[in-house]
Structure 1
């Protein structure tokens, strides 16, 4: 029997596992996909928000600002990519200035540091490519960008190293109360725990209703993006927002931590919790609205488009609660959920501590070594690494300069990759301009050899096929 079962291996679930793994607890993360970071956490804007947008007094406001501060320290300890590049919210009309001033006041009430409204002249000094329609901008220096795959994986690997277990490709079908806690029934067997934490993203409402009465609903909000080649990455250095609406923070233009340029997302509420298709109309909207913020966006350098789903709750705030004795929900974790994840984990730990005594481990390890990124090393470091392990001398992904050594490390690590997407998220092999056209065959071969299976058994991702009567 575990002390805690966490349902969902996204950034919230993995951050919670890492937080609870500091204590003498038996922890199990159950994820229906074959890897962590397969759902909402893998397809978002990758922004570490400053915290000026959320309504003062809400959980979103409190946990955003706390999470922002935590990430600025955690990335050093857990070895994931992060850059504090600052953000600008653009105002295109003098009549919009009061709305920008309201954002400023919200941010100040929320405790965001360094916020200021700057003139068009100052805005264009900082970002020369801004649209000529810009009148003012709200500048937020504490905003940043992150790699969501790396951050989620860092939490997961840190949790694993500190004793947490992960049950992947395991779908929860039922949860029953037991004399000591809960029996979690899955398609891979039954697991028992004293407490359950629901971090199931767009399915959090369905998981909650396995235990408690209907408390909330989750609506998937579809957001489409365009990703440009690294040749376009220097168009802007800050994250460029437009004034937000009730549907979200609007179309943004931002560099990524790996040097690309990202534009999006759209915002469309849908019914299908698995619909991650892109559409001609969605991409057209991204192009049109992105061009309002930044002049001369090089759409001829787009290397891929993709869609993410945000888990939008009907409570207009994060839903973090004890819904039944020792059953906790972390639901409706839409933006700024990525930023807030480590702070949400702290809050869940506090709720759990009301019912279960928590004792810190004597041997807890608060650091984690990430994968070696060969392309980021100096020439001397590269030569030394190749001398130690010749596999680092074989380039597999030419677009991103990813070596065989990096791919083998991604497969061999605890919680290692088992699919093409798993390798891609850990190493970036396949994320370049040819979008895996060159490196896929070699990556499949390496996966096949290391996993001991046929090349036909290697999948792009591990999405579980569920029959109609399942």
Structure 2
């Protein structure tokens, strides 16, 4: 009998949620990740917006997964200490053509069951957002759109999976494998593993995993780069609502919103490229982003930009999710999960487990699950620095404590590289970008990471 019931390839947002769902359902789970830590691929550069699905394709799997994921996040967040910054969103029309398009967006929202949307006049927009440019003509308010922590939920999901027996292996790139009619043998950079069923959540490499293990791919990943700029924390006083553009056929457009960490984010761009590894920051695109942000909120011209970054989204040649099963080969692919994956991840995991059941797989669900919690990094909630006994403040820009770093390093799922430590604590991610705290962090992490801190450029 194979050692695991299911091998999940990829520890991005979807893979982490998948591991949690299958473990809670009683399956023996193996999670294989080519990187040194979770979210080391496309998922680390998400925009952290919890979407209602108001503008998703009506009747689509994407919409169903988004709304199921949204509901489950709200259901479990208190148990796992996950933040929710209630902002609401406005789809803002800046031209007569965009204003005319709001009718269709509102109709789509109501068709999708998001019935609390309402139109805002120009004066109502200014009343809600006095710092927004007076060029805003009209908007559609979507009260249920909110901001969350972009990384902590997925750590929580993996901690819960691990608490229920999931085996999680990093630095385990899948190099090949074979199906013998009953199960799979996978060759990885960490040796051989055996599992009855494969769930391919490999993100930017999902098509290549299909080609490697199945001989051909059913879809083609076309990486899409998104660049972002982050304004200093003073910007958070200038805006309280997520400002969404009227989308076009190619992209949802540039978003301006607060973050859970007290900053303001603008982005992403949408640039197709062939490289699946590197997402470079381009000055011209960033200048255009900042110009757009300042055009929307003129007072941002007086606020410093503290960080810029770029990430890749695993777009494919079609817009929809690329989810398919091959029951005769004990295989499920979950591909083409683009910008909605953060919200939809829990819903995708439940949907895929349903498909797995249709393949004849049955397990005994966990009757009384363990509910691990993660450290709160959100600015609007109580942080560790405000509690006694935290030790030194190691990162002064983000007020990260010695205790937070120690708990991350000694926890049940410690970071595999400096990027993982940053995502667990926000150390080095503030105004000085680690200039003042990197030496201390290097000392605290000495001998822990394969790449020493001074040479590790992970974000």
Residue 344 of structure 1 pairs with residue 340 of structure 2: no
Residue in 2 that maps onto 1:206: 208
Residue among 385, 396, 399 paired with 1:398: 396
SS in 2 for 1:393: coil
**Aligned residue-pair number:** 453
Distance 1:359 1:54 in 2: 34
Distance 1:117 1:71 in 2: 27
Residue in 2 that maps onto 1:468: none
Residue among 232, 235, 240 paired with 2:238: 235
> Residues 108 and 422 of structure 1: is their aligned pair in 2 closer, same or farther, counting only changes over 3 Å?
same
Residue among 428, 434, 437 paired with 1:436: 434
Residue in 2 that maps onto 1:110: 112
Contact 1:78 1:158 in 2 (8 A): no
| TM-score, scaled relative to structure 2 | 0.94
Residue in 1 that maps onto 2:365: 360
**Deviation readout 1:353-400 (Å, 9 max, x if unpaired):** 1221121123422x22212669854899722xx1xxxxx221111111
Residue 178 of structure 1 pairs with residue 183 of structure 2: no
SS in 1 for 2:195: strand
| TM-score, scaled relative to structure 1 | 0.91
> Residues 412 and 231 of structure 1: is their aligned pair in 2 closer, same or farther, counting only changes over 3 Å?
same
Contact 1:34 1:461 in 2 (8 A): no
Contact 1:229 1:261 in 2 (8 A): yes
Contact 1:372 1:406 in 2 (8 A): no
Contact 1:5 1:197 in 2 (8 A): yes
Question: How many angstroms does 1:149 deviate by?
Answer: 1.0
Distance 1:100 1:373 in 2: 35
**Deviation readout 1:137-181 (Å, 9 max, x if unpaired):** 011011011111111111111111121111001101113112421
Contact 1:202 1:220 in 2 (8 A): yes
Residue in 2 that maps onto 1:75: 77
Distance 2:126 2:362 in 1: 54
- Runs of 4+ in structure 1 off by over 3 angstroms are 372-381, 453-459
Residue 256 of structure 1 pairs with residue 259 of structure 2: yes
Residue in 2 that maps onto 1:422: 420
Q: Which moved more, 1:263-272 or 1:290-299?
A: 290-299
Which runs of no fewer than 5 residues in structure 2 stay unpaired?
Answer: none
Distance 2:450 2:354 in 1: 46
Question: How many angstroms does 1:298 deviate by?
Answer: 3.3
> Residues 200 and 127 of structure 1: is their aligned pair in 2 closer, same or farther, counting only changes over 3 Å?
same
**Deviation readout 1:106-157 (Å, 9 max, x if unpaired):** 1111112411121111111111111221111011011011111111111111
Residue among 76, 92, 101 paired with 1:99: 101
Contact 1:46 1:148 in 2 (8 A): yes
Distance 2:275 2:196 in 1: 33
Question: How many angstroms does 1:39 deviate by?
Answer: 1.3
> Residues 235 and 195 of structure 1: is their aligned pair in 2 closer, same or farther, counting only changes over 3 Å?
same
CA-based RMSD of the aligned residues comes to 2.2
Distance 1:334 1:379 in 2: 33
